[in-house]
């Protein structure tokens, strides 16, 4: 069963009150680090794929000349982003079928989203299609550390159940026409998120990334940041 958007909104409010950040490990610090690594060109066009409640969009808006587009399948989340300020660059769509023209973007940010997708190859193919040659794909998400067998992928399951080992993720990117240029482990940010919620008297229920640290039922969870570039046609 897919999560209720109203529940998502309430959890977002709780997490923001406790940690002062968005619904992902590391908050915006990891996003800022990624932006330093990517070094966007002047007047860059950037897509926040699965923009949620707009934290990364707000950060991108602080970069002069950057034109940021937020895309999410949840109309309620996009309406929440609209209420935060004047923004006309929001798109309601599924990541498996981006309603954008080919070769139109300099970068795609996809944070805590790919692990939830049913067909990751299809979504990665869409990211590659809309990126200009050499354009950057920035991903941060859960992954599996160690050698535990993968569980069967279930549509609508948590990001923990959809996490893959590093080798598998790199393989998906390569087959989709991307060259991975940087991989960093940020698992301590995942641990800190769980600790912040617990020490503040909050519950891990519903926060699947934080639950992963405590539960570990689908393998030993880690958190990564990667930058890949659109390579030659596959």
Task: Look up the CATH number of the domain holding residue 149.
Answer: 3.40.50.150
Task: Give the span between the Cα atoms of 182 and 164, in whole angstroms.
Answer: 17
- Type and span of the H or E element at 68: strand 67-72
Residue range(s) defining the domain that contains residue 33: 5-230
Residue 152 has which token pair? Answer: 């069967």
d(CA 106, CA 136): 6
How many residues are present in the chain? 234
Contact 60, 90 (CB under 8 A): no
Distance between CA atoms of 199 and 192, rounded to whole angstroms?
10
Q: Please give the chain's pLDDT, 234 residues, in tens.
A: 334 444 555 555 555 555 555 667 888 999 999 999 998 988 999 999 999 888 899 999 888 889 999 999 889 889 888 887 767 689 999 999 998 999 999 999 999 888 888 899 999 999 999 999 999 999 999 998 875 544 544 444 556 667 889 999 999 999 999 999 999 999 998 888 777 776 665 555 545 555 555 554 445 888 999 999 998 765
Looking at the structure of the chain, the number of domains it has is: 1
Angstrom distance (rounded) from CA 227 to CA 20:
26
Answer whether 203's CB lies under 8 Å from 197's CB: yes
| Residue owning tokens 């209720």 | 4
**What's this model's pTM, rounded to 2 decimal places?**
0.83
Cβ–Cβ < 8 Å for 200, 222: no
Token couple for 81: 């982003």
């Amino acid at each position: 069963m897919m999560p209720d958007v109203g529940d998502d909104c309430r959890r977002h409010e709780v997490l923001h009150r406790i940690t002062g950040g968005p619904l992902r490990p590391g908050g915006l610090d990891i996003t800022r680090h990624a932006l330093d690594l990517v070094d966007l060109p002047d007047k860059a066009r950037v897509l926040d794929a699965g923009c949620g409640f707009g934290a990364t969009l707000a950060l991108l808006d602080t970069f002069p000349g950057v034109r940021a587009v937020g895309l999410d399948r949840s109309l309620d989340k996009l309406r929440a982003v609209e209420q935060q300020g004047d923004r006309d660059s929001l798109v309601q769509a599924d990541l498996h079928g981006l309603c954008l023209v080919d070769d139109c973007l300099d970068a795609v940010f996809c944070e805590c989203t790919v692990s939830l997708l049913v067909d990751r190859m299809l979504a990665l193919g869409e990211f590659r299609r809309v990126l200009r040659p050499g354009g950057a794909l920035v991903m941060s998400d859960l992954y599996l550390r160690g050698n535990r067998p993968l569980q069967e992928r279930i549509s609508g399951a948590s990001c923990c159940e959809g996490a893959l080992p590093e080798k598998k993720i790199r393989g998906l990117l390569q087959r989709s026409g991307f060259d991975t240029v940087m991989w960093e482990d940020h698992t301590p940010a995942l641990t800190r998120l769980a600790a912040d919620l617990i020490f503040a008297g909050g519950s891990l229920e519903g926060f699947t990334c934080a639950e992963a640290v405590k539960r570990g039922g689908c393998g030993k969870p880690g958190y990564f940041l990667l930058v890949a570039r659109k390579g030659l046609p596959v």
